[in-house]
Amino acid sequence: MTIFVFSSAKQLSASEFFAWDFALKKTAHIFEYAILYLLIFRATNGKYVQAYLLTILYAISDEVHQHFVPGRTAAVLDLGFDASGANISSYLIWKLKQFRQKRRKK
């Protein structure tokens, strides 16, 4: 819901400096989709691939949605940042599971 609300808003400039604006917005993409992946991962009972595909499908639908919002554009580059968030979240979950398994063996 949060992602949809932000996608519906008019394009906002976070800063007068392009580099800061770009970094802030792309970091938000990564963070939002890392959390979305985690939530979907839990909802799918720990199915990595299914959670990843659902996250990416939502990212695609979000870009399509933005295409129809005045002042916004759809960007393939944003899908890359969204996928990066999902990848980071997936990797961290995997590493955490490995860490927990090692601790149990001791």
Which string of b and e fits 46-65 if b means at least 16 CB within 10 Å?
A: eeeeebbebbbebbeebbee
User: d(Cα 83, Cα 55) in Å, to the nearest integer?
Assistant: 8
In this predicted model, what pLDDT tens digit does every residue of 6-39 receive, in sequence order?
665 565 555 566 778 788 889 999 999 999 999 9
pTM listed for this prediction: 0.81
In this predicted model, what pLDDT tens digit does every residue of 84-97 receive, in sequence order?
999 999 999 999 99
CB 9, CB 66: distance < 8 Å: no
